[in-house]
Chain A
Amino acid sequence: MSRYESWGRFPQAQQRAQRLCWRSDDILSLKQEDACGLPFGNGRSYGDVCLNDGGILLDCRGMDRFIEFDKKEGIVRCEGGVLLRDILQLVVPHGWFLPVVPGTQWVTLGGAIANDIHGKNHHRAGTFGCHVPCFELLRSDGSRRVCSPSSNSDWYGATIGGLGLTGVITWAEIRLKSIPGTEIEGETVRFGSLSEFFDLSRESDRSFEYTVAWVDALATGPRLGRGLFFRGNHSGNGHGASPEEAEKITLDGLPAVPLVNRATVRIFNALYARKQRRATKRVRTGYGPFFFPLDAVGGWNRLYGTGGMLQYQFVVPPKEASDVVSGILDRAARSSAAPFLTVLKAFGDKPSPGLLSFPRPGITMAIDFPNRGQPTMELLNSFDKLVREAGGRIYPAKDARMSADVFQACFPEWSELSSFADPRISSSFWRRVTDRPR
């Protein structure tokens, strides 16, 4: 608990921690000391947006109180360190659900806003930030601003997707969505190629609220782009309290040996791809297994050993998507790397209020790689080129290695954000990607 890591466990950073436990308190360490701080939630971002090497981490997990829950209107207001899991446990029994959920419920509300996260319903709902009517921003000088689209709207936009740089989100309000029951009724559809994926995605996004696909990143040739498409809707089944979604197993005690390599990935993918014989399988499940399948395995990031893991997530415009995705899949499969969990999803065109928000209309893909140093870095750098040429961008919340040039080309809004950044707040990520004379 005293060690702070990001989910990818790379890079490692040395930093002191100060706990922020009360939303009414100022950020003492930044008032008294001459060092930079960075708000830290639950450490689920993959790279270094949540790290502050040589500085102070402002651990916000102690700010985990609810403030108000309007069961009639479906609005919940709580502190920035509350976990999405706790919000779901509170609101689901009353027929409400979070408007957007990521692949894990172990993230804080503040982290969800600061990274402007997205989920399987992006094509309908947009990002998390689209459903946050207001929040309070606390700055290192002790000033506080309640931000919304109508008041302090520039701060509102800078903070959503602002990577924690604008200040600490002490509390926020979320507009919940009403659900008929706790279960998800869905389908798993097998597909044999990328073009099948694109067809399925177009068709599914019309009739399903949640869509995402898993791709076998080691398949080449005629099998390139084979995978499974998951789609679902909330169903009227399942009521009352949500079952405690406890971790079924935990890998925290795993030896420091990397278990993800080409051989194990090949076996896993082959088994997973053949998981289902039929072309389409209907599934009815609780919301937990549908949205958060990996949460059943605590500490699964440890499978990658001490070198850690790099997740490469990008989005490219619809027109170039097919070329870029197949180009990257092909390179990954032919490299010596072991691309593991690979996910594809079509983003919709609902804009986010966030200035530096990642999603754009198009196709997003995320691939996990064990970090093997230079060869992995070179491979990912070669992906950058494809993504940039297509006018795409890379997701800061997952990144640990993109260059300042690539970042600034992906996010030209960065210089605008830096004018809202708190002078006493910085991150390892921010120093890395802004380190260039302008």
Chain B
Amino acid sequence: MKRVLIIGATSAIVEATARLFASNGDSIFLVGRSESKLASVGADLKVRGAGKVGTAILEAMDFGRQAEIVERAASFLGGIDVALIGYGILPDQEAANSDAALVRRAMDVNAVSTVCLMTHLAEFFEGARAGTLAVISSVAGDRGRASNYVYGSAKAAVSHYAQGLRCRLASSGVRVVTIKPGFVDTPMTAQFSKGMLWATPESVAKRIHSSILAGGDIVYAPWFWKWIMTVIRIIPERLFKRLPL
């Protein structure tokens, strides 16, 4: 039975992943913004087989309480084996083109808040000399594109930060897993029309869960995004800047 800290527990992908932990009988500490929604998720996980389930409220911008939340989770669970971070916002790129405040908010929530939280968790895991820190980044962070570069650059920061952390913690027995989902059909992407490349939160959750349990450093979900992004990354910039991506 694992002790799992989940931050951003009311997002569709993260909740679907939490259900997989619950069905293994793991104990779970849920962090999110809405008390009533956390209670709904928590009760559901309990019915699905979770051991202990605790909750705490945290706003993304409440930097002062991040360390305290990690401590509370650790004392509730009696330690932490896995931490999964998966909150974020998807700003409208076109609006962001001329709205610096929106850019700042997207960066704050998606990048700054996330990497600060990772700092606290890294310290915790390093002290324990064990644990897995998983963070949901995005394929959008692999290359800047006109259609989504505000979100993408924040996710790039998360991916890079996770990469550095992984190298730093490798010798301490701490794993850092960067998860890069492609298009996922969630409330965050409700307004997009969906094509063949879109995946369900449940299928992405399965991949996240299995890569947290079984190993893996940088994990694309679904798997085929690894090859799509390999191609996207090798296109020369001179050509890339003219592509309608």
Contacts and interface: CB of A to CB of B under 8 A. Distances in A.
B179 interface: no
B185 A1 contact: yes
Interface residues of A, number: 17
B12 interface: yes
B43 interface: yes
Contacts of B198: 1
B241 to A, nearest CB: 31
A19 B40 contact: no
Contact of A65 (B41, B185, B200): B41
Interface residues of B, number: 16
Contacts of B37: 22, 24
A19 B47 CA distance: 24
Interface string B175-218: 00000000001010010011000101000000000000000000
Given A22-B37, A66-B48, A2 B194 contact: yes
Interface string A82-95: 00000000100000
Contacts of A78: 47
Interface string B39-54: 0110110011000000
Interface string B150-191: 000000000000000000000000000000000001010010
A67 B12 contact: no
Contacts of B48: 66, 90
Interface string A55-72: 000000010011111000
Contact of A2 (B44, B187, B193): B193
A32 to B, nearest CB: 15
B36 interface: yes
Contacts of A66: 43-44, 47-48
A294 interface: no
Given A22-B37, A24-B36, A90-B48, A67 B187 contact: no
Contacts of B194: 1-2
A301 B189 CA distance: 28
A65 B43 contact: yes
A230 B198 CA distance: 41
A23 B10 CA distance: 13
Contacts of A2: 193-194
A37 B41 CA distance: 26
Interface string B17-56: 0000000000000000000110011011001100000000
B44 A65 contact: yes
Contacts of B43: 65-68
Interface in A16-51: 17, 19, 21-24
A69 to B, nearest CB: 5
A62 B187 CA distance: 9
Contacts of A17: 190
A68 B43 CA distance: 7
Contacts of A24: 36-37, 40
Contacts of B44: 65-67
Contacts of B47: 66-69, 78, 90
A34 B99 CA distance: 30
Given A1-B194, A2-B193, A65-B41, A21 B187 contact: yes
Nearest to B15: A65
Contacts of A19: 187, 190
Contacts of B190: 17, 19
A24 B41 CA distance: 12
A228 to B, nearest CB: 36
Contacts of A67: 40, 43-44, 47
Q: Which of B40, B41, B190 has the most CB of A within 10 A?
A: B40
Nearest to A69: B47
A90 B193 CA distance: 33
Nearest to A59: B190
Contacts of B185: 1
A24 B185 CA distance: 22
B40 A23 contact: yes
Q: Which of B36, B185, B190, B198 has the most CB of A within 10 A?
A: B190
Nearest to A66: B47
Nearest to B40: A65
A69 B43 CA distance: 10
A204 B62 CA distance: 67
B245 to A, nearest CB: 21
B40 A62 contact: no
B55 to A, nearest CB: 14
A300 to B, nearest CB: 21
A86 to B, nearest CB: 9
Contacts of A68: 43, 47
Contacts of A21: 12, 187
A208 B44 CA distance: 35
22 contacts: A1-B185, A1-B194, A1-B198, A17-B190, A19-B187, A22-B36, A22-B40, A24-B36, A24-B40, A65-B41, A65-B43, A65-B44, A66-B43, A66-B44, A66-B47, A66-B48, A67-B40, A67-B44, A68-B43, A69-B47, A90-B47, A90-B48
Given A67-B43, A67-B44, 5 more contacts: A1-B185, A2-B193, A17-B190, A62-B12, A66-B47
Nearest 6 CB-CB pairings of A with B: A65-B44, A66-B47, A24-B36, A2-B194, A69-B47, A66-B44
